[in-house]
Chain A
Amino acid sequence: DIQMTQSPSSLSASVGDRVTITCRASQGIRNDLGWYQQKPGKAPTRLIYAASSLQSGVPSRFTGSGSGTEFTLTISSLQPEDLATYYCLQYHNSPFTFGQGTKVEIK
């Protein structure tokens, strides 16, 4: 199975800060990676697919990059509504696998 290592596990940042979350795959997955946001008590929603494509309706402050084994989700200017846990997911091989999650808190 492909292992996804996500870091950091949590972070605290101020409104307006730039935030970066990283996922590393245990083997190459091309660009078969998505990023998901889960707000407290809610189901996850997709932010990014194919590593760098922005889901329709998602604010442009969210960007994804990377290919192969290294991937990054960047929030260019953190907003209060971005309080959530973020997960990467590889869908290159079955079983699909998630990163461990990054909990983003607002200072």
Chain B
Amino acid sequence: QVQLVESGGGLVKPGGYLRLSCAASGFTFSDYYMSWVRQAPGKGLEWVSHISSSGTMYYGDSVRGRFTISRDNGKNSVSLEMHSLRADDTAVYYCVRGTFLTGPDSWGQGTRVTVSS
């Protein structure tokens, strides 16, 4: 079955750096785009970034220029490098699989990022 397992979350100071990873299994990784979606405490869902199977990257306005998404089709993994972190980046970050035809379908359980001094 499809499994998406996030890692790398934690506590970081404002202005700091963190790298999230998502290990995928149970499907042909290279057939899907991969995304990151976040949810701040008590808030709704926010699309962060996604990367197509061929490596084209897209970013939400709030993270463009600070976050970088990448994927390794050989290792079935996707990463999110987060620079210049701010308090409002505090959230649970979900790894999500999808296709452009039918949209996002499977979600990981999330990894928590807290930006605080």
Contact = CB atoms under 8 A, between A and B. Distances in A.
A16 to B, nearest CB: 28
A91 B100 contact: yes
Nearest to B98: A91
B44 A87 contact: yes
Interface string A46-81: 100110010100000000000000000000000000
Contacts of B45: 36, 38, 44, 87, 89, 98, 101
A73 to B, nearest CB: 14
B60 A95 contact: yes
Interface of B: 35, 44-47, 50, 58-61, 94, 98, 100-110
Interface of A: 1, 32-34, 36, 38, 43-46, 49-50, 53, 55, 85, 87, 89, 91, 94-101
